[in-house]
Structure 1
Amino acid sequence: MNLLEIDGSFGEGGGQILRSATTLACITQTPIRVNNIRSNRKIPGLRPSHLTAIKILAKMCNAHVDGLSVGSTSVEFHPDRIDNVFLEEDVGTAGSIPLIMQTVIPLALAGKKLQVSIRGGTDVPWSPTTNYTKYVLAEAYSRMGLDFAMKIQKRGYYPRGGGLVHLTVNPCTELSPVHLIKRAEKKANLVCCYTDEDRISDSIGCARDLLESNGFATSTEKSQEKADNSGASMLIFSHDSNSIIGADELLDLKNRSDFGKRCARDFVGYGMGVDANLSDMLVTPLSLCKELSIFTVPSISKHLETNLYITSKLTGCKYGIGKIDGGYEVRLQGSSDSCIK
């Protein structure tokens, strides 16, 4: 099979291209070369979390990989068969475990069971939190037929990391489309984890007050958990038959008084079918679903644009974006012929 060349500087020019491309390469059994990796970032090339993600994928599909080292700006990935997988991996830094899990979970489409334990960062900057993955992404994926369970054994905040997550992904036999158009219920679930309660108790109350003043019936769950350094994360989420929405935030130790306000404001403002962050996470599996999926989103992020572009190159999926009142509608027609046999 010919090697598919991918320009890693396209669109947002970060790790998203590499993660999506290698995941789909495994599933579709397509050899790829990704060049100009993370060329739009302050420190270009592979970072430890990207390295760990590709190592895990390579083990899962018995791939031959060239260019797998920190700082590398070009990776060649030749996938082979996918087996049942039982792995333990350590990022070695506070590199994002949730981003690594996003690369792993869609491999359930190979019909194999995946069990992976990963050490690294559970709640770190420029990444969804583990609670977002557990409560928001898991709900969206389950509606497609992708079922996974995760146990957060230990939290890991920036800069030390040291978190531990156990992930189990069940085989997926058939993908279902999604239709997520508009939030139908004004309910909010607030989940907060932290190392030091005195730093966040007022923040939870402020976030809850903001939600309730905007008409949301709110439930609250909080948990104090040990970690290698101080930290906290907050998630506000909801799902109904027409929407799956989440907004998360990390504690800024230099500006603690504002913790929770941003994600509460974001959540209140999300009235479409999905939030801006979830939209790009839906694309990879939906590109392999032969039926039409439709979802609405308040804005089109660079990550969403990039993921639509990369998945179309690897799967042949068709997509369209249209402006509607309050946001955008995304239509995605996948190609089941691209899925691994």
Structure 2
Amino acid sequence: MITIDGNQGEGGGQILRTSLFFSLVLGEEVRVEKIRAKRENPGLRPQHLAAIRAFAEVTGGEVENAKVGASWIRFRPSDKAKGETTIEVGTAGSVTLILQSLLPAVALAGRRASVKVKGGTDTKWSPTYEYFKRVFEPAANAMGLRISTRLLRRGYYPIGGGLVEGTAHPSEVVEEKDFCLPPTKRAGTIVSVSSNLRRDVVKRQCGAAREALETRGVEVEATEAREEEANSPGSSVLVYRTEPDRCYFGGDAIGERGLPAESVGRAAARIFLATLDSGASVDPHLADMLVPLMAFSKRARLLTDRETPHLTTNLAVAKAFTGCDFYLQRAGRLCEVIVAGRRR
């Protein structure tokens, strides 16, 4: 059994989800202690319990001490997978955070699964569904995974009610992978969505993002502006750029009550431009998402525009489980991450 300090690094729910990921892939029991010990509401919260339940229900694993407020949990992976299940995150808990760790884990464990997750698809402090689908998913599949998702219904804070269907097929990470080439041109795509708001909101978000890009000499290759059904009002914007086997990055933003639609569009563009202007190939959020996958390659490398606590924390958890070597260093204005395969 491996014991993980849940209070290290960023000290949040990410450590728990990453630990569940490695536990399932390696078939090794894990105990996570001091969960969110320094947070205002320490211990497990409902959204973290949803992630634990998802791993247990999809894979047939066993969990000890899974309750709100718990400071530790123990997870025993199993090969008695259900294959198909529906997970209720509750209200607007993030759907994408669960799928981000669950689908790759199932695939790398050599299993098939189809799962529907109900909750928030576009919420703060987590990737929007559009980012997950258009940035994370293709980058993960470029590493050898066979995962896919389909949006069935959008869900926003505070009601949630979103629904995403995800599938995973047995996969192996490629032996070597580099995400180190900048985009071939300064260009991006804009996706603006809204639900139960004035009809002009979705267009104003998109227009503001376009203006922010074009002012900086960035070509807008395509735009999508869609109104979709949801249980509560909400909106989001994604500005992204992906080039197969070259670069994967994006910037997303969530609409909030009292926040002008133009501000949402500009916020997404600003995040996108930070990575584009740096010459990086991967944005800082995707960088930490890719680390668990990189740990199973013989050698993998990426260039991102900045180091984050989530990145360094995931590297530490990856090393604890796999014994992989990693190097984190400055490369001019960029941050270079090199992970040299598992040792255990």
TM-score per shorter chain, which class? over 0.9
**Percent identity (aligned):** 34
Of 230, 233, 239 in structure 2, the residue corresponding to residue 230 of structure 1 is: 233
Cα shift readout 1:28-60 (whole Å, capped 9, x = no counterpart): 111111111112322111122211111121223
Q: Which residue of 1 aligns with 2:287?
A: 279
1:144 and 1:72, CA in 2 relative to 1: closer, same or farther beyond 3 A?
A: same
3-state secondary structure, aligned to 1:124: coil
Q: Which residue of 2 aligns with 1:87?
A: 85
Whole-angstrom distance in 1 between the partners of 2:107 and 2:264 = 36
Whole-angstrom distance in 2 between the partners of 1:300 and 1:198 = 37
1:177 and 1:191, CA in 2 relative to 1: closer, same or farther beyond 3 A?
A: farther
User: Contact (CA 8 Å) 1:37, 1:74: kept in 2 or not?
Assistant: yes
3-state secondary structure, aligned to 2:176: coil
Q: Greater shift after overlay, 106-115 or 96-105?
A: 106-115
Q: Which residue of 2 aligns with 1:303?
A: 310
Q: Which residue of 2 aligns with 1:161?
A: 160
Whole-angstrom distance in 1 between the partners of 2:341 and 2:319 = 9
Number of residue-to-residue matches in the alignment: 334
Q: Greater shift after overlay, 221-230 or 255-264?
A: 255-264
Whole-angstrom distance in 2 between the partners of 1:212 and 1:146 = 35
Cα shift readout 1:217-262 (whole Å, capped 9, x = no counterpart): 2110111011111100111111124211111100122222411112
User: Contact (CA 8 Å) 2:26, 2:109: kept in 1 or not?
Assistant: no
Whole-angstrom distance in 1 between the partners of 2:267 and 2:287 = 19
Cα shift readout 1:69-126 (whole Å, capped 9, x = no counterpart): 1221110112222536111111122110000001211220122111000110100111
1:22 and 1:277, CA in 2 relative to 1: closer, same or farther beyond 3 A?
A: same
Whole-angstrom distance in 1 between the partners of 2:311 and 2:254 = 22
Cα shift readout 1:170-208 (whole Å, capped 9, x = no counterpart): 221443432112233222011111012323422211110
User: Contact (CA 8 Å) 1:319, 1:332: kept in 2 or not?
Assistant: yes
Instruction: Write the mapping of 1:117-132 to structure 2, written as runs, cut at 5 A.
Output: 117-132=116-131
TM-score scaled to structure 1, two decimals?
Answer: 0.94
User: Contact (CA 8 Å) 1:200, 1:259: kept in 2 or not?
Assistant: no
1:209 maps to amino acid: E
Whole-angstrom distance in 1 between the partners of 2:246 and 2:338 = 15
The answer to whether the aligner puts 1:332 opposite 2:339 as a matched pair is yes
Whole-angstrom distance in 2 between the partners of 1:109 and 1:304 = 21
User: Contact (CA 8 Å) 1:247, 1:264: kept in 2 or not?
Assistant: yes
1:248 maps to amino acid: D
User: Contact (CA 8 Å) 2:13, 2:36: kept in 1 or not?
Assistant: yes
Q: Shift of the alpha carbon at 1:149?
A: 1.7
3-state secondary structure, aligned to 2:226: strand
Where does structure 1 differ by over 6 angstroms across 4 or more consecutive aligned residues? none
Q: Which runs of 5 or more residues in structure 1 are unaligned?
A: none
TM-score scaled to structure 2, two decimals?
Answer: 0.93
Q: Which residue of 2 aligns with 1:217?
A: 219
Cα shift readout 1:241-295 (whole Å, capped 9, x = no counterpart): 4211111100122222411112201211213010010000001111111x21111
Whole-angstrom distance in 2 between the partners of 1:285 and 1:122 = 23
Q: Which runs of 5 or more residues in structure 2 are unaligned?
A: none
Instruction: Write the mapping of 1:68-87 to structure 2, written as runs, cut at 5 A.
Output: 68-81=66-79, 83=81, 85-87=83-85
User: Contact (CA 8 Å) 2:191, 2:206: kept in 1 or not?
Assistant: no
Q: Greater shift after overlay, 193-202 or 204-213?
A: 193-202
Q: Which residue of 2 aligns with 1:323?
A: 330
Q: Greater shift after overlay, 306-315 or 198-207?
A: 198-207
3-state secondary structure, aligned to 1:260: helix
1:133 and 1:177, CA in 2 relative to 1: closer, same or farther beyond 3 A?
A: farther
The answer to whether the aligner puts 1:250 opposite 2:254 as a matched pair is yes
Q: Which residue of 2 aligns with 1:294?
A: 301
